[in-house]
Structure 1
Amino acid sequence: MPQVPIVAAHWVYLLGVALIVLTMIWRANVVVPSVLATFLVALAWTHSPIAALGSIFNASFTAAKELFNIFLVIALMTALLNALKVLRSDIRMVEPFRTVMKDGHTAYFVLAGITYVISLFFWPTPAVPLVSAVLLPAAIAAGLPPLGGALAIAIAGQGMALSSDYVIGVAPGISAKAAGVAVSAAAVADRALVLSLITGSVALLLGYFAIRKFITKPDDGLLERWQAKSSNGELARIAQEGTFDKVELARGTAGDQTPLANQGQIDKALAAIPDAREKWSKIFAVVTPLAFLGVIVVMVLSKLGIGHDLKGGDAAALVGGVAAVLMIWASFVTDPLREFLDTSADHVTEGFIFAFKAMGSVLPIAGFFFLGAEQGLSAPILGVPAAQAPNLLFELVQAAQHWIPGNQVFVAFGVLIAGMITGIDGSGFAGLPLTGSLSGALAPTVGLDPATLAAVGQMGAVWTGGGTLVAWSSLIAVAGFARVPVFQIVQTVMVPVLAGLVTSTICAVLIWH
């Protein structure tokens, strides 16, 4: 392939990437730098101020068109959870697991397992308060120190579940789209799932050994002392230093979930359900997990060539469709017919509000990186025919190819570190357009699958900024519920998570080389 000459637009794009990364390191919001960089790149390429101004809108609009399915799935899953909360089915789903917490050792892994499953389907934002309110008090009474509970919840939810995002598909969708048209979100999701399980297993095991000596015998006095603690102003101060709404969203979920310290308090909360709803509360506590278990079975069988063939975004569509049907059904049995129609619409509206609060700021960022990702995406942003559109990042990598070591491990760790750097801002998802674009450009130079590199970069970005390695991320929520200093969590989880990321990156190269 003939080498394309590097022109001013390439250098402006490179400077834009550097500016965005530096802004992330400073933990400032990168939306404005992304918009400015988009304008300057378009101006350098088209030499038209009018076209450059239009590119600001076109970039976000293109990103919105490419990623709207993600917003829709988030909205429908959030709508379902809100409908379940009215019936208190969310509490019923996790409450039985209190009985298996016989000691602190068991409690650690039960907390991690339940947090992982709920976070996989509903994201950690609602999972953290639910698990913290219902299961964490029981775990502490069983002898698990609050720090151990915080580690289990953060690693399993903010780390393992969010970094693969296998069910809802936000992260793999963004990574795949930025990596190029030839990369499927399903391929990125499959690799990310494996890497997240490797990283999480290593981190959970090392985290367990870090707090094992602090596990004591079951004692209700432990719970009383924990309840006597109160969060100081540290969490509020750190939250103000963060940049993305996700932090405040995560902390804000504390408002309607107070710790249920014993079975009596849980029974009291469930007894408050009107008699007409109690039967349905129990039904949905069983039907909901079974329905999504069925979705997982269909997805797995599809990959084995059995049953319905799920292509492209079919898996996300199936998840969203199941969520919508369950939400409508839950609303129907909760309210009279006329109110049910309004309630269902309200749940959907609230779901979209949450989706855009959590992910809306990603659109201008993704728009800028789509501008450099491939011709099919840069053409509508610049307003030029596809044949005249550039592939800026690929062309930059092609020009610098002789400087890039032809070593798969080196490139994989380079993308991992790039992802970790972008995660410093405390978001996790904001860096995915960059790691995806880098993966699409660098993978051919070393003979790696772009989906593999994109999954590696996703691990670095989400494990760092999603809520395990930086204190100003949604880890604040975990610290607040567990009543543990947030920096103590970071210090304890740092080595286990880094060891997990190194292990999973090496495995990625060995498995998919």
Structure 2
Amino acid sequence: MVNLGLVHYVYVAFIALIIIVMFLKKDVILPCILGILVIGFIYSGNIISSVQIIYRSVVVSSREFIEIVIIIALVNSMSKALNSVGADEVMIRPISKLMISPKIAFVVLGFTMMIFSWFIWPTPAIAFIGPLMVPAAIRSGLEPVWAAVSLDIFGNGIALSSDYFIQGAPAITSKAAGIESPFAIVKAGFFMWLTISAIVVAISIIMMNRNGINKIKNTEKKYTYKTSDSKSKIVAMLTYIFFLIDIVILYFYKLKGNDATSLIGGTAVIVMLLCVLIKNDIKASLGEVTTLIRDGFMFSIKIFAPIIIIGAFFFLGSKETAQEILGLGTNGLLTDVGVYISQNIKLNKFSVVLIQSFISGLLGVGGSGFSGLPLIGTLAQVFSKAININKASIAALGQIITIWVGGGTIIPWSIIPSAAICEVEPFEVVKRNIIPVACGIISIVLIAMFML
């Protein structure tokens, strides 16, 4: 029989505070650090120990996320290297020629964004393909605002919520949920991901048709491609070949989780080195490789620095990480709360799905789909112990909703990159995204109630 003490109530209170702060569109780092300090003091009864707990929690969280930080850094370095030799233009040019009508341009732009986002993440993917493909899409008659919608829903929604190749999102969720392999999250959430993706795209295209399409092609912003030299063509061709080989290897050798991430990361390094060595002599290459690696890690740590701190707080709720932070005497604060609730309040799969979905949506309002994943994973672990429900599936549901809401589809301040590339207002993009995304989320919540 689990009994809750002051430390549990304070922990839940801080979770509520953090969700409120997210809902108010403010950063949550300060309440997370204060929460760790207060929880540490209540648990240990010693101010010195509570200060040490702050540091231990950050170290534990950093260790949990370090592989994700590294893979994002390496693929970003590769992206910059490809751009430096002009190989990015060569890779995009054949695809842009397919844009012969607004509808086709919407889909081609979106699928290109999805594919590149799978390998280099949405933010660098927008910078990678946006300046090259958006002008071609607009010339086909696609309105700039719908070009931004395409970039958002295919990159920040479809690609980021699945994250099949880098597996950053599933890795965060699985760590917090106590699931060994991120692929378990991917597999459990595939049908829900496919459903929300299809519904959002279909409704967006219907809305685009009803709102009318530019009948006059935009010729004011004529884009001409740079002349490609043999070096850029060679690098582009080899990059395609390397990653196609990776896909074949992943499929036939059934590489998953860290093994899959390692293959992608190693390939990114090889492509980066190839770009540098083709562009420069050995002496110049020494310095450029250092610059690319430094810039890649600066980009990655900029993204994950707040997530590490947020994760440090929410890892107090999970047994394995809580024991490393607070000591072997704890089962995890949220785990205790979940067991207590299961002993005193009757839960069922319908209420659990609704609670997970509601909290996931609230976390996404903070504008960072990843910052809420540690809590989503921890809640999935708690609910799976409280009732008979598939832990991976309920975690996948929360991950998909959190990222679709906060990853950059209906939160204005997270849509800025795509809006800026297309030269439209973020709120105009949100107006067109909110109905399709809401319909998609409602659909997978209903599916989850009967599927889990």
Q: 1:114-513 alignment to 2 at 5 Å?
A: 114-180=112-178, 182-216=179-213, 219-220=216-217, 222-224=218-220, 227=221, 261-262=222-223, 265-266=224-225, 269-271=226-228, 278-303=229-254, 310=255, 312-374=257-319, 376-382=320-326, 384=327, 386=328, 388-401=329-342, 406-473=347-414, 475-511=415-451, 513=452
Q: Can you list the C-alpha shifts for 1:381-417, whole angstroms capped at 9, x where unaligned? A: 12x2x2x123210110111125655332332232122
Is the CA contact (8 Å cut-off) linking 1:104 and 1:218 kept in structure 2?
A: no
Q: Alpha carbons of 1:80 and 1:507: their partners in 2 closer, same or farther (altered >3 Å)?
A: same
Is the CA contact (8 Å cut-off) linking 2:29 and 2:306 kept in structure 1?
A: yes
Aligned equivalents of 1:345 and 1:10: distance in 2?
Answer: 47
Aligned residue for 1:425, secondary structure, equals coil
Q: CA deviation at 1:159?
A: 0.6
Is the CA contact (8 Å cut-off) linking 1:419 and 1:461 kept in structure 2?
A: yes
Q: Alpha carbons of 1:70 and 1:302: their partners in 2 closer, same or farther (altered >3 Å)?
A: same
- One-letter identity of the residue aligned with 1:489: V
- One-letter identity of the residue aligned with 2:62: A
Unmatched segments (≥5 aa) in structure 1 = 228-260, 272-277, 304-309
Share of identical aligned residues, percent?
A: 29
Q: CA deviation at 1:193?
A: 4.5
Q: CA deviation at 1:68?
A: 0.3
Is the CA contact (8 Å cut-off) linking 1:13 and 1:37 kept in structure 2?
A: yes
Is the CA contact (8 Å cut-off) linking 2:152 and 2:408 kept in structure 1?
A: yes
Q: Alpha carbons of 1:321 and 1:48: their partners in 2 closer, same or farther (altered >3 Å)?
A: same
Aligned equivalents of 1:509 and 1:293: distance in 2?
Answer: 38
Number of aligned residue pairs: 452
Q: CA deviation at 1:73?
A: 0.3
Is the CA contact (8 Å cut-off) linking 1:88 and 1:270 kept in structure 2?
A: no
| Stretch deviating more after TM superposition (410-419 or 459-468) | 410-419
Aligned residue for 2:25, secondary structure, equals coil
Aligned residue for 2:365, secondary structure, equals helix
Is the CA contact (8 Å cut-off) linking 2:79 and 2:128 kept in structure 1?
A: no
Aligned equivalents of 2:258 and 2:445: distance in 1?
Answer: 26
Aligned equivalents of 2:363 and 2:219: distance in 1?
Answer: 38
Q: CA deviation at 1:184?
A: 2.4
Q: Alpha carbons of 1:193 and 1:344: their partners in 2 closer, same or farther (altered >3 Å)?
A: farther
Q: CA deviation at 1:209?
A: 0.4
Aligned residue for 1:468, secondary structure, equals coil
Q: CA deviation at 1:132?
A: 2.3
Q: Alpha carbons of 1:187 and 1:90: their partners in 2 closer, same or farther (altered >3 Å)?
A: same
Number of the residue aligned with 1:62:
60
Is the CA contact (8 Å cut-off) linking 2:341 and 2:386 kept in structure 1?
A: no
- One-letter identity of the residue aligned with 2:354: F
Q: CA deviation at 1:509?
A: 4.8
Aligned equivalents of 1:83 and 1:57: distance in 2?
Answer: 36
Q: Can you list the C-alpha shifts for 1:67-104, whole angstroms capped at 9, x where unaligned? A: 10001101110111111011111111111112211111
Aligned equivalents of 1:323 and 1:405: distance in 2?
Answer: 50
Aligned equivalents of 1:440 and 1:117: distance in 2?
Answer: 31
Number of the residue aligned with 2:49:
51
Aligned equivalents of 2:405 and 2:48: distance in 1?
Answer: 39
Aligned equivalents of 1:465 and 1:313: distance in 2?
Answer: 25
Is the CA contact (8 Å cut-off) linking 2:250 and 2:256 kept in structure 1?
A: no
Aligned equivalents of 1:391 and 1:194: distance in 2?
Answer: 31
Aligned residue for 1:135, secondary structure, equals helix
Aligned equivalents of 1:285 and 1:311: distance in 2?
Answer: 26
Aligned residue for 1:143, secondary structure, equals coil
RMSD (CA atoms): 1.8
Aligned equivalents of 1:58 and 1:510: distance in 2?
Answer: 41
Is the CA contact (8 Å cut-off) linking 1:163 and 1:192 kept in structure 2?
A: no
| Stretch deviating more after TM superposition (291-300 or 131-140) | 291-300
Q: CA deviation at 1:270?
A: 3.2
What TM-score, normalized to structure 2?
Answer: 0.95
Aligned equivalents of 1:106 and 1:328: distance in 2?
Answer: 36
- One-letter identity of the residue aligned with 2:419: A
